[in-house]
A = this chain, B = another copy of it.
Amino acid sequence: MMNTKDANQIAIFKALSDPVRLEIIKYLKHTEHEVSCGEVGKALNISKTSGSYHFKLLQEAGLINARKEAREKYVSLNPATFDKFITKYYKNI
């Protein structure tokens, strides 16, 4: 009764159901272009350890794109997932 698709859907909904992660998503939505995890963390007052944890979850859910360049990790929203997934989910449930 619980397949891989469901697991993905749940990962996405879980990712979206936390205030910190919602703030991150909002921040990324505003900025449009990619930003470093550090910038986001500072702006939203998240410790780097906690930030690391949340970015990982968002990444795993496919809600953000991440790219590591030397020391820094750059993240940006993956609008495709957020958008497409939701509509798709509602149609195929």
Q: Residues on A close to B: CB < 8 A?
A: 1-2, 6, 9-10, 13-14, 16-19, 22-23, 25-26, 29, 44, 82-83, 86-87, 90, 93
Among B9, B13, B26, the residue within 8 A (CB) of A93 is B26
Given contacts A86-B86, A90-B86, are A23 and B10 in contact (CB under 8 A)?
no
Chain A facing B: main interface SS: helix
- Contact yes or no, B93 A83, CB < 8 A: no
> Could you list 25 examples of A-B contacts with CB < 8 Å?
A1-B23, A1-B44, A2-B19, A2-B23, A6-B22, A9-B16, A9-B22, A10-B17, A10-B18, A10-B19, A10-B22, A13-B13, A13-B14, A13-B16, A13-B17, A14-B17, A16-B17, A25-B93, A26-B93, A29-B93, A82-B90, A83-B90, A86-B86, A86-B87, A86-B90
